[in-house]
Amino acid sequence: MNFSLKAPDGTVIESYEKDHKEFIRIAGLEYEVYNPVDELDSDPEIRQMIEASEKDIKQGKLYSTDDLIELVIQN
């Protein structure tokens, strides 16, 4: 996931990959980009929950915000 950041002074900071990890360089210092989504995606239980949710969405099994609020109020 390469990206660019634009600093307030107009400097553009580009990310780059090294050793299968993503980094940025600011003022000569190298920083690894931490992405907690990668950890979530690698957890089998969470991955299964995400896939089940995506399947429900495709099948139209959805709740409106009002439905969810009503369910919370009732319990």
Amino acid (one-letter) located at 57 = I
- The pLDDT, as a whole number, for residue 51 is 92
Amino acid (one-letter) located at 27 = A
Same-domain status, 18 and 46: no
CB 13 within 8 A of CB 4: yes
- The pLDDT, as a whole number, for residue 4 is 87
The domain total for the chain is 2
**What element of type H or E holds 63?**
none
Same-domain status, 20 and 45: no
pLDDT at 26 over 90: no
Which domain covers residue 3, as residue numbers? 1-34
pLDDT in tens, 48-64: 998 999 999 999 999 99
